Chains A and B, each alone.
Chain A
């Protein structure tokens, strides 16, 4: 891990004539009357993306961002300033602006910095350089060709690949000195298929914290292509979705976005400290059916939502949120953990140096149960089988959440029959998991495309679940 500190110091501090040893001087400026804690977050981020459309590689983009965020905390108050110049005068100015939050009170002092480290869950590589530009172009063309060869009804194919390298260095008044080098790659495939004048789309993709070779191994890119085409063709046959309450069977993997919306956000420490979550005050109470266990796990090697350390330098954990139906834990950052008298869980995340950290999810998933997925579908007389979803949203306070299906089928007499058009499902977070009556033995995590938005900040996340049966949910179709 000291290797990472050296790497981060070289990329972040040296160009501006700084060294890790200078940071104590900044803390001297930051700390003072009534400041409980303070931290510095240095970040360098480099991204590259390429897009193919209409059969040609049309555009590529390269971007670089860097800067330092300076935060001073006093009780529940946070003063925050940032600078895109990592040089001493800019840092001192930001420190002055951040600490203006506190006017009077106790006197905090910074602890000497010592290196904090997490498990290395991904290699400290620059993923942009793991494939030549020629090879990137070739991959895009190949995926386009696979899509078009798959079915003549495919009329439009858009393929993109993107890679980002983030280097961060965190120094905090509690003595934390931590660094991380975070690779992230992703591929997306979107197709439009046309039949008798009707057009429908399908999309697919995946990625994680590794280089392009891992993204492309085992024919994964071809599988994304075939999957996007398959979904588009299914949707060409889809009829209007039903409207009303009915049993819903959710497929494994990405439908775990249900957990993210229905309970995940409601278990974030900030909303519970403030009492604004529908789950506030329910710790230890039953919030789900027996057998339902949900965790937030930032420690899975190479996953999109994983982090060796969070953005406050805390090593990530596997935090049990719900155990056998009972609410067990919150996701915490340092501020909310301190104010609630709890331990941080490694969920303090931020979009960039220009944003304040807050409790966020990593990879959120439900553990598997006993049931064979076929047996779950066979148990439904009439209902919806939803296997692919777009995004979702939740109102933290009243607990209502939605998520929109992008591939779904009717279940009639225990059999999956006709595909139906994407419909939005709506439910209540504190209720929906109490209606889980069967849990599959087929836990799957998503392919690695999730983005979570909160207070205007986006971060990469993962979700997962086994096949699940929910006895009753509202399905927002148009058919009687």
Chain B
């Protein structure tokens, strides 16, 4: 698995690093710390200091397993205008990349370049989810990235993963991502189907049962629940108190039609914990 943790110098980036480091260490993932700054002519000193802290957290979690080899910030090389990188490989690759410029564009460019499986980023706890001075940036990354995205608003370890399903476009990769999240967090799994006044779409109900069977066969304690679409916002708010909210994204998602401002934006804005968008 290839993980990119997008970070800046703010406290929410510090707060996600324990989670990032634990996930990367347990999944033996290639890990990139992608640090974003506004300028693209030279590396900002306070960013370097932050990266050193983040790097140290990563190495604290690898339990001398020889997972990553150390990297030094003095070895950062400019590989393109406004992009610096240093990488090392032990059993897995560990990279620090600094990109200067528009945060959304730079994060998405790195995700594409690395063919990442998961992007993780934190943000402020309010509705606007400010990241590096830009409101709604995590929402934009979650909406536009080609892979799964985990937005962490609270570093609390989730006891439960509440996964919403309203369409049948469920990739094997997304099922596997849930497996890893359940395993790493030692969490329970609740699969929530959405019910309109006309009932549940037959193919969605069938898919829910298939997914339940998939997890039960793998000894994951999963259960399913149906929620009325009109109670959805309230249910999401309640779920975020229980743990991580996950959403299977698909073109047929009716959720996006329910929320005026867009599903992803709403979910991330309203959640108090973490949101995982599955692709």
- Are A and B part of the same complex? no
